Structure 1
Amino acid sequence: MSTEGIIERLQELGMSGYEAKAYIALVAAGEPLNGYEVAKRSGVPRSTVYETLGKLTATGVTYEVRTPEDTVSYLPLPPKSLLDRLSRHYESTLGSLRESLPGIAAPSRLHLIHNLTGREALLERASDVIVSAQRDLFLSVWPEEVDPLDELVRDAQDQGVSVTVMSFGEDTKPVPHTYIHRLSPPAVVLENLGCRLFVAVGDRQECVIGGFLNGDAWGIYSDNPAVVMVAVEYVRHDIAIQLMAANFPEQDVLSFWNNDPDLTRLRSDHGFAATALRAGRTGASGGGANSGAPVRKRAPGRQGTRRR
């Protein structure tokens, strides 16, 4: 990680930009520095460097050192000690919030459906669903989306969550209940859907449904019971088809799958999944990727966000 990246991370943990720069300069020096030297090495203005060092010293991130000449220099708290201290502080804060914050939440009178745009937004919201799961987790994923979520899924499995995965492609590190979609090659499924369709359902109470294609992504988060139910049944139904196909002669299954006129008709709308997900992104009047806002369908001639 670059120095700029480290500064940004330290700012995320509560330091100001000047404080982060001064601390990094002291860590990199490996010896005590006076205020002038800190300013010169860090880029912190000389007019503010002593104020900055004073704040760091007051919080124990730096220490004053008196030289034989009775001048003041500064040493940093070692990085490991700083990180351990920050970890304890944030764990304590989060523990307090876990106990108190839910107690002030009013029962929800609305079920959310809000749009997600972009790969990072979808994977971040899916991570929330995975981490929150306490009982069961249903996933329908492609290898491209498995990797960034793999550690969270394994943590859920290790904590006793019942994890069920439908994988469109070989999973090199599958959890016990992973089922590979073998009835149609991934390329054929991608052609039919128009995107890598993604589903994550936690505790049958919330879900993320999305599509990924060529670096783009669109989808929704919802805790609407009907949407969650459909998402769960989609994953379970897909797995059931794979299990049935695995227990009958392969040639008979493939012949039926490829030649039955009813199945052909049902698969004739190639790209519908991608089209529907894109339409949800562009047609919504509220509840965007970062808003978290519930949505309600507009009545003709009226203004407002959409809620369901």
Structure 2
Amino acid sequence: MLQRFGYSQYESKVYETLATSEQAMDATTIVKYSGVPKAKIYEVLSRLAEKGIILDAISGKKRTYAALPIQVVIDKLTREFEQDITELRTSVVRRNYGDDQVWSLKSQSSIAAYCKEMIAGAQQSIVVSMWADEFAGYADNLELKEQEGVQVEALVIGTDSVNVKLSKLHFLTPAEGTAHMERFTLVVIDGKQVLCAGMEDGSWQAIRTQAQPFVKFFTEFFYHDVALAKISLKYVDELLQDDEMRSLLMRLRY
């Protein structure tokens, strides 16, 4: 029960035994129902008492124990977690070491959280390219940054019905025959750092770097896509009627 919150297996077993009992127990009874070895029981009870999630009292010649109500423990753990988060935020001092490493990042939720952190820290410019359903999760953040004076330019893939107000917003609707297109996310911040993410074997993976050759490459890649979107929108019928041009367009990312 409590192991996921940093408690040991024995501590979790003892607390669960006491929490599910209708009356206080002595150490011998706790050993019987919890399965914790007798040689360890007093050590475990002492730690739980110090952590403030069990009560103890002298009853006759025996010391008995009872669990704090589960809701009280939940409130306690919640407060401690929030305090730990606050300390973590304030304890890390950021330093700029001119990082040109290429870092890898996995997990869609981690990548999304990192993208939002990058966007929140932008001071001058933001360039983003995302599919429409993913872009919707960043729309409010991007609108806010533009209101703060940051230059924001976005390319949305898949639909032009996104509800967002940005000065520079481009759309690319994939042409028929490009259903194989893979998911893709690109974020460039202040012309100094880039995060590029895509699908590999069904899982999201990303790279993040401040190395300028990569930043410049992916920025140009973004404007390549914007140009492609504009050309496709204006001349799509003519281009797709030409077999050679159609074949060439199908070899591009979109």
Give the corresponding residue for 1:63: 55
What SS class does the counterpart of residue 180 from structure 2 fall into?
A: helix
- Give CA-to-partner distance per residue, 1:261-303, whole Å, 9 cap, x none: 77546436468x9xxxxxxxxxxxxxxxxxxxxxxxxxxxxxx
Bigger-Rg structure (1/2): 2
CA distance in structure 1 between the partners assigned to 2:118 and 2:58 by the alignment: 51
Residue 58 of structure 1 and its aligned partner are, at CA, apart by 1.1
Give the corresponding residue for 2:149: none
CA distance in structure 1 between the partners assigned to 2:97 and 2:43 by the alignment: 47
Determine if contact 2:160/2:173 at 8 Å carries over to the other structure. Answer: no
Paired residue type of 2:213 = A
Residue 92 of structure 1 and its aligned partner are, at CA, apart by 3.8
Structure-to-structure mapping, 1:1-308, within 5 angstroms: 3=1, 7=3, 9-11=4-6, 15-29=7-21, 32-67=24-59, 70-76=62-68, 78-98=72-92, 101-102=93-94, 105=95, 107-116=96-105, 120=107, 123-133=109-119, 134-135=121-122, 137-142=126-131, 146=134, 150=137, 153=138, 156-157=141-142, 160-162=144-146, 165-170=154-159, 175-177=164-166, 180-185=171-176, 188=178, 190-191=180-181, 195-239=182-226, 241-242=228-229, 248=234, 253-259=235-241, 263-264=245-246, 266-267=248-249, 269=251
TM-score w.r.t. the length of structure 2 is: 0.69
CA distance in structure 2 between the partners assigned to 1:233 and 1:16 by the alignment: 52
Residue 174 of structure 1 and its aligned partner are, at CA, apart by 5.1
Distance change >3 Å, CA 197–CA 259, structure 1 → 2: farther
- Which structure's residues are more often strand, by fraction? 2
What SS class does the counterpart of residue 188 from structure 1 fall into?
A: coil
TM-score w.r.t. the length of structure 1 is: 0.59
Distance change >3 Å, CA 217–CA 94, structure 1 → 2: closer
CA distance in structure 1 between the partners assigned to 2:163 and 2:32 by the alignment: 52
What SS class does the counterpart of residue 161 from structure 1 fall into?
A: helix
CA distance in structure 1 between the partners assigned to 2:160 and 2:196 by the alignment: 20
Paired residue type of 1:235 = F
Q: Identity of counterpart residues, as a percentage? A: 17
Distance change >3 Å, CA 26–CA 199, structure 1 → 2: farther
CA distance in structure 2 between the partners assigned to 1:154 and 1:21 by the alignment: 46
Determine if contact 2:128/2:187 at 8 Å carries over to the other structure. Answer: yes
**RMSD, matched Cα:** 4.1
Determine if contact 2:127/2:153 at 8 Å carries over to the other structure. Answer: yes
Aligned residues: 242
CA distance in structure 2 between the partners assigned to 1:26 and 1:173 by the alignment: 54
Paired residue type of 2:38 = R
Q: Which range moved further: 126-135 or 237-246?
A: 237-246
Residue 30 of structure 1 and its aligned partner are, at CA, apart by 6.7
More RCO (CA 8 Å, sep 6+): 1
Determine if contact 2:56/2:63 at 8 Å carries over to the other structure. Answer: no
Distance change >3 Å, CA 55–CA 174, structure 1 → 2: farther
Residue 239 of structure 1 and its aligned partner are, at CA, apart by 4.2
- Give CA-to-partner distance per residue, 1:46-66, whole Å, 9 cap, x none: 332321221122122333244
Give the corresponding residue for 1:296: none
